Amino acid sequence: MKIKIPLISLILCLPSLVWAVPQALTFKKQEMTTHKRTVLCNLIPEECRDKPTWTLYKVTETSNQYYLISNLKLYQLEQYKQSYKVLNQWDFSSYTPKKVSTNWTVDEEVNPPDKKFIYPALFPITEKTYAIAMIQRFYETYSGGGMHEEVADFFELIPQQKPKLIFQNIPFSVYRMIRACFSEEDYKKSGEGRCHDEENLVLNIRYLKPYTWQMQYHYTSVLSPASDQKAVNSRKNFILEKGKQETIQIPKSWHAY
């Protein structure tokens, strides 16, 4: 499930002065060559025991900034000649969400799942600092279909400090596939085996001011010709502000079936 990462445009306030709105930093996954693995093992030996499950990313918008995600640990690296040096590191391995509310899964409130991961992108939270998303992923299986739903907690990354929780329990993404063909007539009607309804929830985060985001949700449902549901293509925006978090109420029509 791909999430839209905003490329925030420049705001021209005066002809002689130009201010750039902070932009999200996108990560590009790097090939883990034998040389890179050796360099990283020498640099961070504690993350190289047994079989490391790490991924190296380059920040698309810069020339020498990298991030290494090793399970629930995040390392900020800077390329130095043929090697790297560690600028900062943040450990999320002991973090457990206090509460997780879902919309598409059967239960509205569920226990934190076993599947947690760091989403590979940085979102501006102030003019100088960024936030990272810790994702909790939930799965459900249906007869002939299934879904996954993701909920995020966002942490501000401050150099040489522990990550600071800013926003929690935020709907992040959804993909759901539901069987639509149940009879021979349905299969004929579907054409080319299009026998499933597919739903997607996509989030775009727009920086407004320090510790304030506009959360732009786009929900779509693409239906099988045999479906008895109604197609949806809808958007809804919410404002998140530190200390004044607006409850994000996903429209019931989006997740009802």
Q: Which of 24, 21, 20 is closest to 5 using CA atoms? A: 24
Location of structure tokens 């997607």: 200
Classify the phi-psi angles of 71: left when phi > 0, otherwise alpha if psi is within -120 to 50, otherwise beta.
left
3-state class (DSSP) for residue 82:
coil
Q: Residue 46, Cβ neighbours under 10 Å: how many? A: 8
CA dist., res. 148 & res. 112, Å (int): 14
pTM score, two decimals? 0.85
Instruction: List CB contacts of 158: < 8 A, sequence separation 6 or more.
Output: 129, 164
CA dist., res. 77 & res. 83, Å (int): 10
CA dist., res. 205 & res. 124, Å (int): 9
DSSP string, 133-167: EEEEEEEEEETTEEEEEEEEEEEEE-TTS--EEEE
Q: Which of 198, 196, 205 is closest to 237 using CA atoms? A: 205
Of the chain, the end-to-end C-alpha distance in Å amounts to 21
CA dist., res. 174 & res. 193, Å (int): 23
Location of structure tokens 């509460």: 99
CA dist., res. 190 & res. 235, Å (int): 28
- Residue extents of the structural domains in the chain: 24-255
Mean pLDDT by 10 residues, the chain (257 residues): 37 39 89 91 88 89 89 92 91 86 70 80 95 92 86 95 94 92 86 87 96 96 88 93 82 82
pLDDT at 229: 87
pLDDT at 217: 97
